[in-house]
Amino acid sequence: MTAVRTEAPVSAAPRRLPGAGRLKVTDPVVGVWLAAAAVTLIGWIVVTIDGGQFMTQSNFTGILQNSVALGLVAVGQSAVILTGSLDLSVAYLISLGTLVAAETMEGGSVVTAVLAVLALSAAVGLANGLIVTGLKVNAFIATLGMAFILRGYIEDNYTGPAGDVPASFQRLGYDRIGFIPISVFLLIAVAAVLWLITKRTRLGHHMYATGGDEHAARLSGVRTRRTVIYAHVLCALCVGAAALFLASRLGAGAPWAGTEARYDLDSIAAVVLGGTALAGGRGGVAGTLGGVLLLSVLDSIFNQLSVDPFFKNVVRGVVIIAAVALYARPFRRRAKARDEARAKEKGALA
């Protein structure tokens, strides 16, 4: 059972060959990248009609730059969601991460700061994982509670920006090679590691199995609790990386670094846009990156057209619902057909 689920994304590819053209588009991962491309194209046309220039180097740099923070968080979030969990504490963890990074860098070395942020993140992720698996608190409530805890700590100790990031570390946020910001390589590296873990290691297979059917996974010998804990720690580490990036971008720690951009809900939206099932067990990092790109291309188009920032939210909401609706349909229909076939089989056996 679990093996089937785990292999599904890989082994399904050859089977799809006959009708590749049609089926490929309905595959959410392909779908979201196509959607991102389509949105880029439409944006190009619309912005050009509006009299602006969309296909410029600086605009591309901006889009990539804007994808990094959300991308890092969303990649981590997809690991948790794949496992059938959820992390709502990411926004406050980012804020706290930037503060810890900037304050440690002010007094000590960059290396200490990086280690401190990653240790803090790992601890929060571990706590999340232990609460979810040990206390059996639903992930939604557990991580929401963790968000409250972090928020209280931040609001009690910080009233405004704190700490100072040295120029050497700010290069992470501002330097670029050609027109590609070097922070994009950080995102690519983190995403590649997560992709390798989820698709190529035992832990990753266990994550898919746990998310697909926790009970079946446990019966098949997967240590599901441990898997969920690892997923939460992985997610928190990605969030720590995002916090480091934002600290280098802002030049200081900010209590609102994570909450103002709503990284908690936005990252979940990006993950789901990328075709990962909220219930877990299906999807992956590649789709998530597509979702992130889609969101930041949209943002860039709105900026170019100088759309009212509040109206942007309206369109964002519509796009998220519409995109998920688009590929939820054929996907669910196929699942339903499969369920029905299975039910028939059972009926025939009985």
Partner 1 sequence: MTTTTPSATTTVFAGVGRRLGTGAPVYVLLAVLLAALAITDPGFYEPDSFLAFIKRAAPLVILAAGQYMVIVSGGFDLSVGAVVTAGVVAGAEFYGSYPDAPWLLVTAGLLLAGAIVGLVNGLISTVLLVPSFITTLGMMLILEGAVFYWTGGSPQGVLPESFRSFGRGEAGGWLPWAVLACLAVGAIAVWLMRSDFGRTLLATGDNERAAALAGVRVPRVRTLAFVLSGTAAALAAVLVAGFSGVSAQAGRGLEFEAITAVVLGGVILGGGRGSVVAAMAGAFSLQALFTLLNLQGVSGALESTVQGFIVIAAVGLGAADFSRLRRRRSQPSEGKSSS
The stretch among 45-53, 150-158, 206-214, 281-289 that binds partner 1 (CB under 8 A) is 150-158
Q: Which residue from 325, 348, 349, 350 is in contact with partner 1, where contact means CB under 8 A? A: 325
Does residue 334 bind partner 1 (CB under 8 A)? no
Does residue 310 bind partner 1 (CB under 8 A)? yes
Q: Which residue from 62, 145, 161, 166 is in contact with partner 1, where contact means CB under 8 A? A: 145
The stretch among 234-242, 245-253, 290-298, 311-319 that binds partner 1 (CB under 8 A) is 311-319
Place of tokens 């916090």: 243
> What is the rounded distance in angstroms from the CA atom of residue 23 to the CA atom of residue 16?
7
> What is the rounded distance in angstroms from the CA atom of residue 225 to the CA atom of residue 348?
37
155-165 burial, b at 16+ Cβ within 10 Å, e below that, comes to eeebeebbbeb
Q: Please answer whether residues 249 and 70 qualify as being in contact, where contact means their C-beta atoms are separated by less than 8 angstroms.
A: no
Does residue 152 bind partner 1 (CB under 8 A)? yes
Residue closer to partner 1 by CB (options 246, 277) is 277
Does residue 350 bind partner 1 (CB under 8 A)? no
Residue closer to partner 1 by CB (options 145, 166) is 145
Does residue 321 bind partner 1 (CB under 8 A)? yes
Does residue 218 bind partner 1 (CB under 8 A)? no
Least distance (Å) between residue 220 CB and partner 1 = 22
- How many Cα atoms sit within 13 Å of 212 on the Cβ side? 24
Kindly state the greatest CA–CA separation across the chain.
Answer: 72
Residue closer to partner 1 by CB (options 18, 347) is 347
Place of tokens 């103002």: 260
Does residue 316 bind partner 1 (CB under 8 A)? yes
Does residue 123 bind partner 1 (CB under 8 A)? no
Does residue 141 bind partner 1 (CB under 8 A)? yes
Least distance (Å) between residue 36 CB and partner 1 = 18
> What is the rounded distance in angstroms from the CA atom of residue 304 to the CA atom of residue 126?
41
Report angle CA 311, 270, 142 to the nearest 5 degrees: 105
Backbone φ and ψ of 253, nearest 5°: -90, 140
Backbone φ and ψ of 52, nearest 5°: -100, -175
Residue closer to partner 1 by CB (options 177, 325) is 325
The stretch among 39-47, 143-151, 168-176, 210-218 that binds partner 1 (CB under 8 A) is 143-151
Least distance (Å) between residue 315 CB and partner 1 = 8
Nearest Cα neighbor of 126 from 89, 81, 73 is 89
Tokens standing for residue 337: 């057909």
The stretch among 36-44, 96-104, 189-197, 313-321 that binds partner 1 (CB under 8 A) is 313-321
Tokens standing for residue 346: 């059972």
Across the chain, where does the E strand assignment appear? 176-177, 180-181
Does residue 265 bind partner 1 (CB under 8 A)? yes
Across 56-142, where does the E strand assignment appear? none
User: Residue 284: helix, strand or coil by DSSP?
Assistant: coil
Residue closer to partner 1 by CB (options 130, 184) is 130
The stretch among 4-12, 63-71, 261-269, 289-297 that binds partner 1 (CB under 8 A) is 261-269
Does residue 146 bind partner 1 (CB under 8 A)? yes
Instruction: Name residues whose C-beta falls within 8 Å of residue 186's C-beta, 6 or more positions apart in sequence.
Output: 68, 72, 172, 241, 245
Does residue 337 bind partner 1 (CB under 8 A)? no
Least distance (Å) between residue 28 CB and partner 1 = 13
- Which residues inside 154-173 make contact with partner 1, applying CB under 8 A? 155-156
Place of tokens 């920006």: 161
> What is the rounded distance in angstroms from the CA atom of residue 305 to the CA atom of residue 47?
7
**Which residues are near partner 1 by CB under 8 A?**
131, 135-138, 140-142, 144-153, 155-156, 265, 268-269, 272, 278-279, 308, 310-318, 320-321, 324-325, 328-329, 332, 339
